[in-house]
Every structure is written in structure tokens, then in C-alpha cells.
Amino acid sequence: MGLYARGLRRLGHTRWLAALGPRLVAADRKVQRRTRGRMSVMGRGFTQLLLTTTGRRSGQARVSPLIYAAADGGFVVAGTNFGQRHHPAWTGNLLAEPAAVVSVDGRETPVRARLVPDAGPERERLWAAMLRVWPAYDTYARRAGRPIRLFLLEPADGAADGTANGPAPRAT
């Protein structure tokens, strides 16, 4: 991990970076879309994906750049919203329509989202995987004062065996 990524991981716990986060996400969304996920505002020190969901109200495609952990043959993502009191919109979209598309390094994989229960061994294991990628998630969870929605994005039928638009993710 480079110096830039180590610095971001340290700064991730600060309130000012969390406040700046939504603006960084907007800029990152533009950079990643234009480069098909090959470049990011956060740099290459993190596992990142572009998640395309269907807007629960608009029905339009909505793209969110997210940090992820690879686990159980899928992608784990956390709806921390930088520790804000409300859930991020993409989590509501996945609850309404679990079919989505993940893009990693320009490769698209159709996925189906599954909300991980708020307690239990699966939750603990997947949350630990997320903390290895971005330790500030614990800080965000404390600050939010709400349960953090954690999703496992599992490759849709055919995606894991190479018949979709990309390979299955690496396991952690």
C-alpha cells in the first residue's frame, strides 16, 4: 500500500474527511465512469468498485463508487454514509431491487444483493473483512448511531463461471 493510501486510511477517522466524503464520492464517480473504473480519486491502494443500482423511485440507473472486500465469491459493501445518521440511497435501492451490476477495473459482473443480518457470525466475519480494507468503518458506525447495512453482492447466475462479463472476485 502506498503512502497516499496509508495517509487516507489514517485520515478516514477524522470528521472533516467524513464531511468532505460525499463531495469526493461525486468526483470519484465521474473519474471512475470516464475511465471505466481504471482510475479513482482515492488512488489504487483500495479495492473499489462501481455499483449500478436501479433507483427505487426514479427507475433510473444509479452509479455509486464503493470500497469493497472480496468474500464468499462475491463483493461485500457497507452502507456507512461516512457516519451520517441516514442510510445512503444506494442501500435503499438494493433493498427495493437486489439485481445490480458491479464494475471492477472495467469488467462488469451482474450481481444479486443480499442484506447481511445485523448480528451473528456471518456479520462479524464480513464486517472484519471490511475493516481490513477501511478501518474507519468502525468510526463511521459509532458516529452514525444506527445499524450499518452490510450487503453481500453475489454474482448472478452464470457470472461466477465466466459466462457473464467478468470473472468472479478474489476471495479474502
pLDDT band at 10 (very low <50, low <70, confident <90, very high): low
H/E element, 42: none
pLDDT of residue 40: 60
- Whole-number Cα distances in Å, 47 to 5, 44, 101: 11, 8, 16
pLDDT band at 169 (very low <50, low <70, confident <90, very high): very low
- Cell 455509486 identifies what position? 64
- Cell 471492477 identifies what position? 104
The model carries a pTM of 0.73
Question: CB atoms < 10 A from the CB of 63, how many?
Answer: 15
Q: What percent of the chain has pLDDT over 90?
A: 52
pLDDT tens-digit profile of 66-107?
999 999 999 999 999 988 899 999 999 999 999 999 998 889
- DSSP 8-class letter at 146: S
pLDDT band at 167 (very low <50, low <70, confident <90, very high): very low
- Do 109 and 165 contact (CB within 8 A), yes or no? yes
pLDDT of residue 20: 59
Residue 168 clears pLDDT 60, i.e. is over it: no
pLDDT of residue 75: 98
